[in-house]
Structure 1
């Protein structure tokens, strides 16, 4: 039987990004914890025009979705499948929860919805992601969901005078189905 609630969970829904989301997303890019967990580039706020350009990116190998709370429809984060290699059914992914929404279990539900979409709707075989070694909450979540650490780029970035590894994680469709 088909699952018609592919993008909706108990508390969250994955949805398209909207122009009205730009102002909220811009506030996340003023949060150093958010920035330092998300990217290796220097932690510096993004302009609204940069966020708008990213939202309007319409490449055939990228899916960017807002994470919204069911009741309020408020955006609390996003998930992105990027660099999809359709012939190999592989994709990189990233997930980000903004503002004071971290630590409430939203990441787990959003990640489960995103993987359901990736494996059942996009028919992907492999999802990969990267995470910095100091992002312990994300590492714990990825491993709990079933991602396998496949390696590390040693001393990949420097923050506050210290070098940190960037870990590489992967999840195969049959591994994810076996964990359901």
Structure 2
């Protein structure tokens, strides 16, 4: 269930945290992953994020098949069990982007969302300048459902944030 051709999803490991902390301070990672200012997380912040345990959140490390290299993170979070809806996210280290790892990780994660968690809908947000991610989400069948106009400012320019959703009936991967 958690293994594809190139990658597998594993539990988060304590040894992933220093790498994850460093990535958060890199422009190519941080500016695509969230709207917060770029900064390295403190050990305490990373540890708190790592230790969060909830039946509404499922986080995974992305690794190459048969290797322990930490490529990134993906998650299904804030699940509303009553409605069978969850938020999905993915972030790869900048050295691992554009190699097909993200697409495969999302396919595995969507399969897990449908066949193990029994979710009906997953949703995500993405910034308008993250064209590779938008192309991947649309290839997976996600539908643009809304625009948060001029949601964030980067380097003096305002950017929209898009809301995408995917229903079980809309994708063979979900």
Cα deviation 1:116-139 (Å, max 9, x = unaligned): 110111000000000000000000
Show structure 2 runs of 5+ residues with no match: none
Match of 1:72 in 2: 67
Number of aligned residues: 174
Runs of 4+ that moved beyond 2 A:
none
User: Where in structure 2 are the equivalents of 1:73-92 lying within 5 Å?
Assistant: 73-92=68-87
- Residues 1:115 and 2:118 aligned together: no
Match of 1:128 in 2: 123
Q: How far apart are 1:99 and its partner, in Å?
A: 3.4
Supply the distance in 2 between the matched residues of 1:71 and 1:168 (Cα, whole angstroms): 35
Cα deviation 1:115-163 (Å, max 9, x = unaligned): 0110111000000000000000000000011000001000001111111
Match of 1:145 in 2: 140
Q: Secondary structure at the match of 2:106?
A: helix
The answer to whether the 8 A contact 1:64-1:81 is kept is yes
Supply the distance in 1 between the matched residues of 2:111 and 2:171 (Cα, whole angstroms): 9
Find 1:154's aligned residue among 149, 153, 157: 149
Q: How far apart are 1:103 and its partner, in Å?
A: 1.0
Compute the RMSD of aligned alpha carbons.
1.2
Supply the distance in 2 between the matched residues of 1:173 and 1:48 (Cα, whole angstroms): 38
The answer to whether the 8 A contact 2:28-2:94 is kept is no
Supply the distance in 2 between the matched residues of 1:108 and 1:116 (Cα, whole angstroms): 12
Find 2:89's aligned residue among 94, 100, 112: 94
Show structure 1 runs of 5+ residues with no match: 1-5
